[in-house]
Structure 1
Amino acid sequence: MWPWVAQIGQGRGWFYSYAALENLVGCDIRSADRVVPEWQDLRVGDPVSLHPDMALRVAAIEAPRSLVLHGGVPIDAIPPPYDFTWAFVVRERPDGSSRLLVRERWTYTRWWAPILVEPVEIVSSVMHQKMLRGIRDRAERAAAYDLAPDGWAATAA
């Protein structure tokens, strides 16, 4: 599951979510259906784009377990009215499977920030659900290829 998380971002593996909705706001999204080696090496401070003109930064990373992105979206010349983190944690289970947990944290720095953030959170929740299913489906498909007979694995890769 980690390789799919490591390549999250616009211009990379994308968000594995509702691309049509993301593209309505100019994100230019096309989610990857394969793991791309060049997108696996994230480091603290690296940008992870949400949109061609907007990026978060890698605040913490412990591959293959966790990725934390940090940042905010300025409004014209006004700094972001909140502080934001987006965390991805892969938990390995005793049976060899894994579980992906995703959490957003918002700290408001202006009294009016909830007016902007709360409506976005409704959309974000729907997008997160689709993203989690998209990552799960890709990880399961990749695992099935790895377990398949060599001919199928070679053809599928």
Structure 2
Amino acid sequence: MTNVIIAFVSIVNGVLGSEPGRTQWKPTRLATASGAVLAAALIRRRYLRWGATDVEGVLGLPGDEFLPVADVVVTRAIFIQAAAEDIWPWIAQLGQARGGFYSYDVLENLVRCDIHSADRVHSDWQDVAVGHEINLAPQVPLSVATVEPGRALVLRGSIPMGPIPTPYDFTWAFVIRSAPDGTSRLVVRERYWYTRRWAGLIVQPAELVSCVMSVRMLRGIKKRAEQTVPAPSISVGPQSNELVEHEMRDAVR
């Protein structure tokens, strides 16, 4: 995205012309500039909604009520060929010094997060309740705001910045949407509400990296959940048609 913005600034300078005090309208460059803005918006939309359907992107989910007004909303999703009860244990044990985040541990540990993703379900980490703390990294806790076993886990908090007051409030929701055929959609939503005007300078540059890590996490949960259950006897595509039909009905209710 940075290269797109740099290119856009250069194009805009060309649109305005090189002579001081005089604006030169150049239709070709203006059209190119407009195209660059549109491309940047489309790219950002794509990685903020990786894997999610249009319905999932606007669907009300557990955790939305904590930050009804948000400056940034990220919704990502993945189809999992497993039932909710086979997915939930992997979500319940999320966290540093617990089951990890099933993403790129090496990258997270470069910044001393001390993450070690589990490849099996640990019974000691299945007890999660509202008010508990789940660490992103040592001494960086998020509070458990909602627990619906087999369906939803919502974490809430912010990232400490030393003596500077935290610039945003944040929720992180993991929601399992079950389909009648025994498959599921795992929908993960992040909501950010800026408490400081400059918070976007921290949140938005990290969006693309967050997408890479989150996609790896979704695929990690999918792989772990699916390897514990037999393949279904029916043929399924990238996502369950039955679940999409349910999503469409949900959207018009």
Equivalent of residue 13 in structure 1, options 90, 99, 107: 99
Greater strand content: 1
Q: Which residue does the alignment assign to 1:59?
A: 145
State the secondary structure of the residue aligned to 2:227: helix
Q: Which residue does the alignment assign to 1:92?
A: 178
- Letter of the structure 2 residue corresponding to residue 93 of structure 1: A
Q: Which residue does the alignment assign to 1:69?
A: 155
- Letter of the structure 1 residue corresponding to residue 151 of structure 2: R
Q: Which residue does the alignment assign to 2:117?
A: 31
User: Are 1:10 and 1:28, in contact at CA under 8 Å, matched by a contact in 2?
Assistant: yes
Q: Structure 1 stretch 136-145 or stretch 32-41: which is displaced more?
A: 136-145
State the secondary structure of the residue aligned to 1:91: strand
Q: CA separation in 1, counterparts of 2:172 and 2:182?
A: 26
State the secondary structure of the residue aligned to 2:128: coil
Q: CA separation in 2, counterparts of 1:138 and 1:60?
A: 23
**Unaligned segments of structure 2, at least 5 residues:** 1-86, 232-253
Question: Following TM superposition, by how much is the alpha carbon of 1:28 offset from its aligned partner in structure 2, in angstroms?
Answer: 1.1
User: Are 2:140 and 2:160, in contact at CA under 8 Å, matched by a contact in 1?
Assistant: no
**Unaligned segments of structure 1, at least 5 residues:** 146-157
State the secondary structure of the residue aligned to 2:171: strand
State the secondary structure of the residue aligned to 1:86: strand
TM-score (norm 1): 0.89
Q: Structure 1 stretch 109-118 or stretch 71-80: which is displaced more?
A: 71-80
Question: Following TM superposition, by how much is the alpha carbon of 1:48 offset from its aligned partner in structure 2, in angstroms?
Answer: 0.6
Question: Following TM superposition, by how much is the alpha carbon of 1:76 offset from its aligned partner in structure 2, in angstroms?
Answer: 0.8
User: Are 1:73 and 1:79, in contact at CA under 8 Å, matched by a contact in 2?
Assistant: no
User: Are 1:4 and 1:13, in contact at CA under 8 Å, matched by a contact in 2?
Assistant: yes
Question: Following TM superposition, by how much is the alpha carbon of 1:110 offset from its aligned partner in structure 2, in angstroms?
Answer: 0.4
Larger radius of gyration: 2
Q: Which residue does the alignment assign to 2:168?
A: 82
RMSD between aligned alpha carbons? 1.2
Q: CA separation in 2, counterparts of 1:43 and 1:106?
A: 23
State the secondary structure of the residue aligned to 1:142: coil
TM-score (norm 2): 0.56
Question: Following TM superposition, by how much is the alpha carbon of 1:144 offset from its aligned partner in structure 2, in angstroms?
Answer: 3.8
Q: CA separation in 1, counterparts of 2:141 and 2:224?
A: 24
Question: Following TM superposition, by how much is the alpha carbon of 1:119 offset from its aligned partner in structure 2, in angstroms?
Answer: 1.4
State the secondary structure of the residue aligned to 2:136: strand
Q: CA separation in 2, counterparts of 1:30 and 1:24?
A: 12
State the secondary structure of the residue aligned to 1:15: coil
State the secondary structure of the residue aligned to 1:122: helix
Question: Following TM superposition, by how much is the alpha carbon of 1:94 offset from its aligned partner in structure 2, in angstroms?
Answer: 1.1
- Letter of the structure 2 residue corresponding to residue 23 of structure 1: N
Equivalent of residue 226 in structure 2, options 130, 140, 147: 140
Question: Following TM superposition, by how much is the alpha carbon of 1:79 offset from its aligned partner in structure 2, in angstroms?
Answer: 2.3
Q: Does 1:131 align with 2:217?
A: yes
Q: Does 1:48 align with 2:101?
A: no
Q: Structure 1 stretch 91-100 or stretch 105-114: which is displaced more?
A: 91-100
State the secondary structure of the residue aligned to 1:41: coil
Q: More relative contact order in 1 or in 2 (CA 8 Å, sep 6+)?
A: 2
